[in-house]
Structure 1
Amino acid sequence: MVFVNLSSCFVLLCWCFVTLLSAPSVVHSLAVPPQVNRKAVMTAAAIEFVKNRNPAEALSLYNNLPASPYLWQRGLVAYCASEFEVAGKQFRFDRSVNGGDGEEALWECASLARLNRPRSELLDSLPPKGLSLNDPRAVIRDSVKLFYDFLSLPPDSSPAPLVEKLLTSSNIDTDGDKTRFYADLYVALFYESLCPSPTLAQSYLAQALNTAYGKSSSDFMVATADNMNRL
């Protein structure tokens, strides 16, 4: 008799549990994950990337955030973690709402180049004619032009004149170390992706990091250069 009562209780409990699960409010609460604290994730990821120089761990943290534009940090982290597909898609997403940012065009193009995409696709990732008209920074506009003009040349053309043009323009001498840092960084990115030369890429990264800006700033881009230097 006791066994029968216990069995009945068990059946009743099961019925109650199924009934509760079938209620829309309960199903919804079980299906929706806790809301992600975006600020906390961004802070933790930045610490991993900037302080600990750990792009792989930083990327795993950024991946907890819902896919969205305005996450250029995730793109840079993905690039430095050698996740070039992820990086390219993030920069493309960002540019869908911020098309005038020349830097995001450079990083998308570099990501595609690291994936060995055809030259035509690399050109299409850059602003028309290589003119980043909405970017107020001369060094970024000139860097975009370097990428575009090189890709427009016949294969096996020497990039040296184009690189020299960038390094002697952009108001580098008058704008100071920050501009010099960015010029060297994007020449390094150029030699790392579009015109692969590990020796030259490392040389320009070292020059960028050796500027006063590279030595003293905690800027996310300085951390990017240093993480690239560790690839």
Structure 2
Amino acid sequence: MALTQIVNPIIYPSPTIPRRFAAISPLKTLNPQFSRHSPHTHAISRRIFLPSVSSIWDAITGGGDSNPREAIAAIRNGMQLFRQGDVSGSVTEFDKAIVLDSRQKAYLWQRGLSLYYMDRFEEGAEQFRLDVAQNPNDTEESIWCFLCEARLQGVDVARKQFLEVGRDSRPVMREAYNLFKNGGDPEKLVNDFSSGQASEVFYASLYAGLYYEAEGKSEKAKFHITAACGCPYGQRSDDYMASLAKVHCLCRNWSSGLV
């Protein structure tokens, strides 16, 4: 394994847990804000450059210009600020993390999400493309790259350059990926998972709303994203994307989506 490679995760089989997180027991003392789940799960993003790997690299290269632990603290702060609705502040922290440890940039999907909500779509698309290059099986980053590029170039052009990734383990995200990649009816996505797991109801509504936003249909986008916020998973989950749905409503002045 190359020293710069991220440790492969243990993927939870439950569809209620987003696939981007792995249980890593040696790092239980890390701040639980890295997780998109309950603070009691001790999970962190598998695409943050882990301190143990960084330390090995620093020992070989000298590592004088890298501060991986401080960088991870900045990422943690950025994620917390985003959850609180301070999107600009979150970008400041994510950019600080890159200055502290430039290796983090290729894995900062959180930064890409924040850039989208600051209307910095070109930078957001670049961030997601870097991310997918490192992790070619990431469905959500492929979709978010499309969302950024659709705002810049239109849906048709964005779809022609859609990033193809591997098969997602979550049925709802496989269908969402196909919807964005090929076009289709977002109402079908919602209906197909209306009786599914709580997380599936949430993700179907969220991505249906995002699809409508890409098409410029703001009222339908509002309907589905506020529904995502109001569903049980959107209200109770510590998933980072549940926070994102609320931030989306805040940025669009949809106060009814904040519960």
**TM-score, normalisation: structure 1:** 0.72
- For residue 173 of structure 1, the aligned residue among 190, 195, 204 is 195
Q: Is 1:44 the counterpart of 2:69 in the alignment? A: no
Q: Is 1:230 the counterpart of 2:250 in the alignment? A: yes
Q: Distance in 2 between matches of 1:59 and 1:79?
A: 11
Output aligned runs, 1:62-77, within 5 Å. Answer: 62-66=94-98, 67=102, 68-77=105-114
How far apart are 1:134 and its partner, in Å?
2.1
What is the CA RMSD across the aligned residues, in angstroms? Answer: 2.0
The equivalent of 1:142 in structure 2 is 175
Output aligned runs, 1:186-201, within 5 Å. Answer: 186-193=207-214, 195-201=215-221
2:90 maps to a residue whose letter is A
Matched positions, count: 182
1:40 maps to a residue whose letter is A
The equivalent of 2:87 in structure 1 is 55
Q: Distance in 2 between matches of 1:211 and 1:99?
A: 31
- For residue 91 of structure 1, the aligned residue among 128, 133, 138 is 128
The structure with more helix, counted as a fraction of residues? 1
Q: Distance in 2 between matches of 1:210 and 1:222?
A: 10
Residues 156-195 of structure 1: per-residue CA shift (max 9 Å, x gap): xxx5xx22321233x5523x211110001001111111x1
Output aligned runs, 1:72-221, within 5 Å. Answer: 72-117=109-154, 119-127=156-164, 133-150=166-183, 162-169=185-192, 171-174=193-196, 176-193=197-214, 195-221=215-241
How far apart are 1:54 and its partner, in Å?
0.8
Is the 8 Å Cα contact of residues 168 and 174 (structure 2) preserved in structure 1? yes
Residues 106-133 of structure 1: per-residue CA shift (max 9 Å, x gap): 1000000111357234332232xxxx54
Residues 74-111 of structure 1: per-residue CA shift (max 9 Å, x gap): 11111122221121111100000111111111100000
2:96 maps to a residue whose letter is N
Q: Distance in 1 between matches of 2:148 and 2:182?
A: 18
Q: Distance in 2 between matches of 1:179 and 1:101?
A: 17
Q: Distance in 2 between matches of 1:105 and 1:142?
A: 13
Q: What residue ranges of structure 2 are gaps of 5+ in the alignment?
A: 1-63, 252-259
Instruction: List 4+ stretches of structure 1 deviating above 4 A.
Output: none
Larger of the two Rg values belongs to structure:
1
Are the structure 2 counterparts of residues 200 and 121 from structure 1 closer, same or farther at C-alpha, using a change threshold of 3 Å?
Answer: closer
